[in-house]
Amino acid sequence: MILGIDIGGSGIKGAPVYLARGAFAADRHRVETPQPATVKHVVAAVAETAAVFGAADRVGITFPGVVLGGVVRTAANMDPSWLDAPAEKLFAEALGCPVAVLNDADAAGVAEVTYGAGRDHAGVVVMLTFGTGIGSAVFVNGHLVPNTEFGHVHLHGGDAEDYASDRARQEHDLSWADWAKRVHHYLKHMEMLLNPDLFIIGGGVSKKSDNFLPLIDIRTPIVPAALRNDAGIIGAALSAHRLPLALPGRA
């Protein structure tokens, strides 16, 4: 069994994944992200989530930050204890199997490019996830450019995610139309930086895309994620599947 687990700012979700179709093999299980989201508490919550499904052969885990060689380098929406934490090693020890840890938006993008809205799409494809923050994944002819973190580009006096994330929409009680204006400004900025061939919009708001995507008028084609908010779990599982067979977690 290959398990995918998606760590978010508000929730930790997991499910076994049927990789031939890019679909869940059982119902998703979700727990609240511990507060504070320290290394110890989150590792325990991930182990609790994984235990629901029994022993796994491999587990893929997303993290909302930059992950290099299995080590967390940024953690904007998590506890500072995560900085430089050897996440891959810690999770492998807690779960007792090989583990792959990668940026959450990168995982979602991997799933969309493999199974969803970006499948067989040439050129530059940019996946953007709108939730507690804004995640980004950039692909060039299907190849991932990891850890781009374009939610933190400077926009309107601060981080773009403080202006245009779904969290900002809720905190400022914005209508869909007013929030769409903010997303429009952000996407125009991303167009200027990357000149992509396609934007894919993911995260929790993707299932409500009819409320805001028709209000956005940009040059680049823009589509909702086909896998909606399940993309992170599916992409994490696929990344775990691609691990070298003997890898028990990086040292």
Identical fold for domains 2-103+236-241 and 117-225, yes or no, is yes
Q: pLDDT by residue (tens digit) across 166-192?
A: 999 999 999 999 999 999 999 999 999
Arithmetic mean of pLDDT, 89-101 = 97
Asked if residue 104 has pLDDT above 90, the reply is yes
For the domain made up of 2-103+236-241, the CATH class stated in words is alpha beta
Question: What are the sequence ranges of the domains in the chain?
Answer: 2-103+236-241, 117-225
CB atoms within 10 A of CB 117: 22
Please tell me the pTM assigned to this model: 0.93
Distance separating alpha carbons of residues 199 and 238, to the nearest angstrom: 22
pLDDT category at 243 given cuts 50, 70, 90 is confident
Select from 204, 237, 208 the least CA-distant residue to 21: 237
Asked if residue 250 has pLDDT above 50, the reply is no
Q: pLDDT by residue (tens digit) across 3-48?
A: 999 998 889 999 999 999 999 999 999 999 999 999 999 999 999 9
Yes or no: say if 24 and 15 are a contact pair by the CB < 8 Å rule.
Answer: yes
Q: pLDDT by residue (tens digit) across 218-231?
A: 999 999 999 998 99
Yes or no: say if 61 and 87 are a contact pair by the CB < 8 Å rule.
Answer: yes
Yes or no: say if 225 and 231 are a contact pair by the CB < 8 Å rule.
Answer: yes
**Residues of the chain with pLDDT > 90: what percent?**
92
pLDDT category at 245 given cuts 50, 70, 90 is low
Q: First CA to last CA across the chain, in angstroms?
A: 24
- Give the domain 117-225 fold: Nucleotidyltransferase; domain 5 (3.30.420)
Residue 208 tokens read as 């409500």
pLDDT category at 249 given cuts 50, 70, 90 is very low
Yes or no: say if 63 and 102 are a contact pair by the CB < 8 Å rule.
Answer: yes
